[in-house]
Chain A
Amino acid sequence: NAGVMQNPRHLVRRRGQEARLRCSPMKGHSHVYWYRQLPEEGLKFMVYLQKENIIDESGMPKERFSAEFPKEGPSILRIQQVVRGDSAAYFCASSPQGNEQYFGPGTRLTVT
């Protein structure tokens, strides 16, 4: 059973561009979470999704950020018009029933 997959692992974007981060949950997992981690800091919850539904997006910035988990394909975290402050590691986690969360390797976003 493959673990949680994220791609790309590293992403460099210029200010104003769009960043798309992908997450494929573990097989059989229908719950997906996105977290953001700044260097030397903890994991900040962003959004919780189930297939085709956003369950909780209380940690998402109101503008420029969006997430989806379509019926087919990976979950996508989209950041429009990136700014330097968006530079961080973005981790996705998946869960079979909304309890134990297993993390992917993360996408390290650098905005230049």
Chain B
Amino acid sequence: GENVEQHPSTLSVQEGDSAVIKCTYSDSASNYFPWYKQELGKRPQLIIDIRSNVGEKKDQRIAVTLNKTAKHFSLHITETQPEDSAVYFCAASIGSSASKIIFGSGTRLSIRP
């Protein structure tokens, strides 16, 4: 069945450095790839998403890249800050309708002061 794999499961970076989280997906028809941030005890929040017709999207310190040929996409956070500490989930749509998404297993990002 459809699957999304996410790496690493935990990531610790020095404040100010960059963090990269990578995901791969199995459904070649997937065309929508959102990223969510979940702080402890809180709801998942949509932070950025990308559709298959673009290869990269940026929003301030956050960027996402997509390689459809290789079926992988990545989240890049630059100039990390303590408030970036959270669990990040990638997701990919099932099929081309984008109405259902499957989540990766999550990456726990810790920012060291």
Contacts and interface: CB of A to CB of B under 8 A. Distances in A.
Nearest to A55: B99
A43 B34 contact: no
Interface residues of A, number: 21
Given A31-B99, A42-B105, A43-B103, A101 B89 contact: no
B43 interface: yes
Interface string A74-112: 000000000000000001000100111111111000000
Interface string B25-66: 000000010101000001111100100000000000000000
A101 B105 contact: no
B37 to A, nearest CB: 11
A84 to B, nearest CB: 21
B43 A42 contact: no
B102 interface: yes
A101 B94 CA distance: 14
Nearest to B103: A43
B7 to A, nearest CB: 13
A100 B49 contact: yes
Interface residues of B, number: 21
Nearest to A35: B103
B13 interface: no
Interface in B94-108: 97-106
Contacts of A41: 105-106
A103 B102 contact: no
Nearest to A56: B100
Interface of A: 31, 33, 41-45, 48, 55-56, 91, 95, 98-106
Given A45-B102, A99-B93, A105-B42, 10 more contacts: A41-B106, A43-B44, A43-B103, A48-B99, A98-B99, A99-B32, A100-B34, A101-B101, A103-B45, A105-B43
